[in-house]
Chain A
Amino acid sequence: MSLTLLIYLVVGFTFALYIGIAIAARASSTKDFYVADGGVHPVANGMATAADWMSAASFISMAGLIALSYNGYGGSVFLMGWTGGYVLLALLIAPYLRKYGKYTVPDFIGERYYSDSARVVAVICLILCSVTYVIGQMKGVGVAFSRFLETDYETGLGIGMFIVFFYAVLGGMKGITYTQIAQYVVLITAYTIPAIFISLQLTGNPLPQLGLGSTLAGTDVYLLDKLDTILVDLGFQEYTTTIRGSKLNMMAFTASLMIGTAGLPHVIIRFFTVPSVAAARRSAGWALVFIAILYTTAPSIAAMARLNIVNTMQQPDGQALLIAEKPAWFENWEQTGLLQVEDLNGDGRIEYTADPETNELTKLDNDILVLANPEIAQLPNWVIALVAAGGLAAALSTAAGLLLAISSAISHDLLKSTYMPSISEKAELRASRIAMAAAVLGAGYLGLNPPGFAAGTVALAFGLAASSLFPALLMGIFARRVNREGAVMGMLAGISVTLLYVFQHKGIMFIPGTSFLGNMSPNWFFGIEPNAFGVVGAIVNFGVAFIVSRVTASPPSEVEKLLDFLHEPSIAE
């Protein structure tokens, strides 16, 4: 059977599965639509959260980001940042918001800060970070289709939109939850199988987490030591010790990703779907278990695939790879533009070195590590088909979660809570479906015509969530004295500082040439790169909120009661 046919079959089967689930899990009330009737088992919700959370970027790009862009150790910021945030979420945010018991994040902010303007500011922050995030997912769907199925980008995006439209509009959170569980199973199988094979081939140990710390098969040289030596020989820095920027930059980056994670609305709302506060706490633990399966495998794929590539480029006799002897996978991926070769010195060989003057592997895209892995390891075709289905599952599941966060902010927070409080339950359900349909179409439009700022999207989303929503939620739960004025000014200050810093280095709305300081590290504030700046925005947010709250009136007594209720032991189980 040809590879393309096999991919169509596997991807088609998973899509049929998602549609089947959508028909079985239709929403019949707003509670169904917003929180899946609050009846999802904590382990099931953990699995759905993992799929919700792990995006096309985690699946396709992260291993390459760690291995290539951040040269190994520097990439630890993603691993620690995107998992450590769950500790904050589980301890400080999710149980309290579950106890509060409503449907959305702006719901809480509006009531805790007794103000429609606080709610509207929260909705704006939510939409800003979710929309930037969803563009990345839509692009992921289009790219996955075009690479694996040789359709053009637009067709791929269209098919992806149709599938999401179907189950998200019909089932809301209920449909999304059960499809996300199926998508998790697809994506984790697709991610781990190639990793297991590669680990087995290189080290003889089937567990990638152990393989990474093992010796290379048939030798007594440790894999990581070998990788360090071979990279240093080629002029790169050591894989296991190279710091990204400075230690302060790494700490700020990790912290920004952590608090961004704990402040992302599409993740937080997943914890509204479980039956109790205790279930929300347990569920966060399960979510991290399911996430960790991928996140502890990723560094193994990163190091092993990098070693495989270097070994391909460097023949056993110590000579560089002859252009005439390129393996088949190399040519396949050259056609997609993810790999590019230029024989600068005309010796018929491809030198791969750290020096841009002599390096002849002129393009080595981050995504290649995961996408070409099965071919590099010479795995059977069905594994390649599975990787295609896995990448699509990762993109679709995250897109659906984000779209729900956006549409419920519109139908629930803007319509029901702010502008049309008299709307009936039935009308609200209809409004939420219309909002969802509009959100899917809007996201599709942005996927087709990505705005200039789409390049920096996911990192920007984290910076925005970290600097606006996380501090507002944390203070809303733990700082009794923080009032309406403080919260609104804090959110606005946090988000402005972060946007200003990102724009001044990367261009206004990422338009090249409009950056007024230039993207040069000497201009970075204490050497902190723009993507790591969310934590500084958060500190500004906290500072402004505390100072403004101190000079304005205390929150009313209803807020005292709300906080007493949130911190009471929750007994129901």
Chain B
Amino acid sequence: MAEDKNVDRLQRFAARVRSLMLRLLVVWFVVSFGFGILLVEPLNVIRLGGYKLGFWFAQQGSIFIFIALIFSFSSVMTRLERDYVDVEKEFEE
């Protein structure tokens, strides 16, 4: 019974990690391939100071967002792992 529960929790953990990765990778794709290349002309109509917006995403913005993605991944993963451990402790008690 406890064994089943453990397997269950592991699967839930894995599913959460997968959905987190998927969401972050969607953003990764959209800001670089999407905004930086595919949608660059429509975005270039919009201005960010002297930058055309599409050009800005391709040469500046996507890089800043990449950094944010990695740190979000790192902090959410730490939380997911901590939650997992906390529940495990409850079990032992």
Q: Is the CB of A87 within 8 A of B59?
A: no
CA gap between A210 and B56 in the complex, in Å: 11
Q: Report if A319 contacts B (CB, 8 A).
A: no
CA gap between A95 and B69 in the complex, in Å: 15
CA gap between A83 and B52 in the complex, in Å: 21
**If the complex has contacts A213-B48, A222-B50, are A84 and B62 also in contact, measured as CB distance less than 8 A?**
yes
Q: Is the CB of B63 within 8 A of A296?
A: yes
Q: Report if A231 contacts B (CB, 8 A).
A: no
Chief secondary structure at chain A's binding surface: helix
Partner of B52, one of A240, A289, A292: A240
Chain B residues with a Cβ closer than 8 Å to the other chain, count: 42
Q: Is the CB of B81 within 8 A of A76?
A: no
Q: Is the CB of A281 within 8 A of B33?
A: no
Contacts of A73 in B (CB 8 A): 40, 55, 58-59
**If the complex has contacts A212-B50, A215-B50, are A84 and B44 also in contact, measured as CB distance less than 8 A?**
no
CA gap between A222 and B33 in the complex, in Å: 26
CA gap between A79 and B66 in the complex, in Å: 12
CA gap between A282 and B85 in the complex, in Å: 20
Nearest-Cβ distance from residue A259 to partner chain B, whole angstroms = 12
Would you give the 0/1 interface string for A65-83, flagging 1 where the beta carbon is closer than 8 Å to chain B? 0000000010010011001
Would you give the 0/1 interface string for A105-142, flagging 1 where the beta carbon is closer than 8 Å to chain B? 00000000000000000000000000000000000000
Would you give the 0/1 interface string for A197-220, flagging 1 where the beta carbon is closer than 8 Å to chain B? 000000000000110111100000
Most buried by A among B21, B48, B49, B66: B66
Would you give the 0/1 interface string for A289-301, flagging 1 where the beta carbon is closer than 8 Å to chain B? 1001001100100
Q: 8 Å CB contacts to B: which residues of A288-318?
A: 288-289, 292, 295-296, 299
Q: Report if A91 contacts B (CB, 8 A).
A: yes
Would you give the 0/1 interface string for B22-57, flagging 1 where the beta carbon is closer than 8 Å to chain A? 001100100011001110110010001111100110
Nearest-Cβ distance from residue A283 to partner chain B, whole angstroms = 9
CA gap between A90 and B24 in the complex, in Å: 11
Q: Report if A4 contacts B (CB, 8 A).
A: no
Q: 8 Å CB contacts to A: which residues of B39-93?
A: 40-41, 44, 48-52, 55-56, 58-60, 62-64, 66-67, 69-71, 73-74, 77-78, 80-81, 84-85
CA gap between A240 and B41 in the complex, in Å: 11
A81's nearest neighbour on chain B, judged by CB, is: B32
Q: 8 Å CB contacts to B: which residues of A30-80?
A: 73, 76, 79-80
Contacts of A87 in B (CB 8 A): 24-25, 28, 66, 69-70
Q: Is the CB of A569 within 8 A of B85?
A: yes
Interface residues of A (CB under 8 A from B): 73, 76, 79-80, 83-84, 86-87, 90-92, 95, 209-210, 212-215, 222-225, 240-241, 247, 250-251, 254-255, 278, 281-282, 284-285, 288-289, 292, 295-296, 299, 567-571
Interface residues of B (CB under 8 A from A): 10, 13-14, 17, 21, 24-25, 28, 32-33, 36-38, 40-41, 44, 48-52, 55-56, 58-60, 62-64, 66-67, 69-71, 73-74, 77-78, 80-81, 84-85
